[in-house]
Structure 1
Amino acid sequence: MATDIRSKVAAAVLLELSKADRTKRWLSDRTGIPYSTLDRKLRAHVDLSFTELFSIAEALGVEPWRLTPEAFMPAQPAVAS
């Protein structure tokens, strides 16, 4: 289970990194996460912390929940009828 979540988080970060047309090196420089550490985490070998995810979201200009599994996404408001 933890490995699946780790993989989903890493994939979400890589997707947003790709959308921003940025590299892991750029992200490492912007967040202060050492490149070798960031690389291991984005290959889903090690978990990203909430602090790291927040720093990554800030660097990429996205909401932090976009980098997390669906269970952390905000609920959709009910549509009034």
Structure 2
Amino acid sequence: MEYGYPLNPDWTNEEITTVIAFLEAVERAYEKGISVQEVKEKYHAFKEVVPSIGEEKRIGKQFEEASGYSPYQVMQNIKNATTSRVKMQP
């Protein structure tokens, strides 16, 4: 797919890389499936860059509008996961 990631121009290159890594994990959860542990690790690193719940929601909504993939739904699925991998239904 061709779409942009919602990024903050004030972030450092490392912070941008961290946010993109989390959003790519969300993509993989929909496209191929991904380990629960990997998503949790990427989300934890993402929260270091984006500690604000309001900003997290804004980024998630922008990403979902652009890609069709919901970070919120992935994290809800991870929270309730009973297996070591998740695969989201489109």
Q: Please, what TM-score do these two structures have when normalized by structure 2? A: 0.33
TM-score by length of 1: 0.36
Kindly indicate whether structure 1 or structure 2 has the higher relative contact order, using CA contacts under 8 Å at least 6 residues apart.
Answer: 2
- Judging by fraction of residues, say which structure has more strand: 2
Larger Rg: 1
